[in-house]
Structure 1
Amino acid sequence: MKDKEDYLKLCDVSLWPAEIQNRKISVTLPKFTPDQFALVVRNVPLEFAAEHVMEEVRKSATSVDKLRMIIYPYQRTTNDFRFIVSDLKEYNGLINLGHAGVGNKLCTITPYRPANKITFCNKCWCIGHIRSRCSSMVQKCRFCLEEYNQGHNEICTKQYKCAQCHENHYSLDANCEIIREYRRNLNKAVKKATVEWKIKLPEVDTRQSLINQQFKPALDSFPPLPGASAQRVYRPTAWKTTASTSTQIFNQTAPVDITNQQLFDKICCHLDEKWSKVNDHITNLKSKVKGNEKAGLETRKNVSCLVGLVKLSITDIIPPIVKLAFSKDTKVKKEVEKSTELIKDQLQALYVDMELVGMTTAMKDIEEAQEQIDKPINSGT
């Protein structure tokens, strides 16, 4: 395997044959994902737990899995979290993006550089040697370090005991002082061997996918085949040449490789168009409101003239006629009183609805006219 793409092809069950030399085969996939698919989200504030960081990072890549905090041998003001991205497209997308939002902060994302592996024995759980060179005669339990036999699971206390310092923690715990000292010495030895050119560390190629995508051969750059120059080969255009509007830009799927400045320019252009439409709509509404105000003023003016005519009729025309009618028939008085009350109620309602100026004076004039109508009748009786 040369790169991550080869590894993914190797793990693709659909690419494997069902039989080889007339023998059925079954593909057993690895139980873990290699460190080449691991990334690190750095400088995460201490108040964010691993579960919350997992949810935030999964908003950028859905294939994120196995997120855990990186333990350092010194105190830090922020935390770093290592996680696996099994999808190569999402892996390259996070590398190109370079950051992910966690809470209200943009945290840097970098490739994971594996630490130097410590040598330990899974028989006695001590460091510094492997199982084949262990001097212990029995297999020990990784919890309590007692002899691990057939019935040990029933009697094991499941209480951790360190094989290095005999404290109550896992034998390979990163917080163990002996483990920390072993790692420091190991890192110094590896660094010294690297400087002396005794070993060479592998280079981490973080732009492998981009390099592979840079070479795109142009069909017109190759010489034509003999006799093929006269033939016209139809090749459909790969991209639409028509200009897209701002609305189409936001509706269609955005390209993966887009800079923040390009995205910002598109958003500004889209907002400018929307803002101009909003301004036009507001201008139309203002013109309609002004027209309605003008019509309202005309209506109020007409109603005021009507009230003046009603006032003139009540004060100057109706009282003389009523005085003559009351001297002959008292039934007319009741009808006139009823009509007068009805006119007062209607004018009062009109005053409340229209808030007309001078309506109170008109109501007082009506009451004075009613008093003038009642005086002759009372004196006659």
Structure 2
Amino acid sequence: MDGIADLRDRYLNEIGGAADEATLENVRLAALGKKGEVSLLMRSLGKMSPEERKTAGPALNALKNTLNDAITEAKDRLAAAALDARLATEWADVTLGARPSRQGSVHPISQVTEEVTTIFADLGFSVAEGPQIETDFYNFDALNISPEHPARQEMDTFYMARAEGSNAAPNVLRTHTSPVQIRHLEAHGTPCRVIAPGRVYRSDYDQTHTPMFHQIEGLAIDRDINMANLKWVLEEFFSAFFGTSVKTRFRSSYFPFTEPSAEVDIQCEWVDGQVRVGQGDDWLEVLGSGMVHPKVLKAAGVDPNEWQGFAFGMGIDRIAMLKYGIPDLRAFFDSDLRWLRHYGFGALDVPTLRGGV
């Protein structure tokens, strides 16, 4: 067939001159598409004599293969050129540092709990834990809290639902961590020196109270422990916690589970509405304490004629507010990310002892 060589040269020139894949596709359709020139010539083979097909058939097949190979090569060339163009404009400097990722923070309550635990560990206290849903016995009876005590009223305590027809005393959400002391004495006996941090629940809500808050109880039982030991431990703790020498003042009080009992104040002064601990002539109440009542020791299976000791309890949330200047207790539980970023601590901030404890 005449003109095959010219057809090949023309399409090879168009393939070689295609500047993009869209132009190349148009050339392919013009040559090899269903209605392309080469395709139409291939269909005309049926009308030729056998002698003509012997010559035209191989020539058209060779043309078709040549154009297909050229198109494939052109596609690879255009794809490589497009990739080079993208790399020239979309490159990344792998030597640059990673984008800073937003980090979370340690909640002040978690931080202060760690600080308190660290300080008391240095004073020889271990950590004891107990359930947050307590029995009436451990939460009240074992702690010498009488049936008519206001703390046992529903206005102050969260009671759990009882099974229908049950006459058993309902379980409660523990109102303090003092039940842990009873459970620890039952399980481990005496002597002991423990703290019991954890969540507690009371039906109260205002600027300085929330229905759920955090408390830490301390207990030390031995044969010759007295109130002087209690005062020393508390002053050493507060001096370490606040980073300055802190004096305490004991005021006579009443708690069912201690006798004698004392409210404990710490030395402070008020400057521009802010409290400064460890200086000045004012006093701020921070906790309740006393010598463990003999009835409480008996309830835990301890002989009060041989053993005695002190106990104290304070709010973790409250001492966190004092140390870090947080004005409203409710903000601890609002889950406000702005508040958490402001008052939170870094994950690698390690509590350290201060004040030469």
Q: Is TM more than 0.5 here?
A: no
TM-score by length of 2: 0.22
Give the structure with the higher percent strand. 2
TM-score by length of 1: 0.21
Of structures 1 and 2, the one with the larger relative CO (CA 8 A, separation 6+) is 2
Give the structure with the higher percent helix. 1
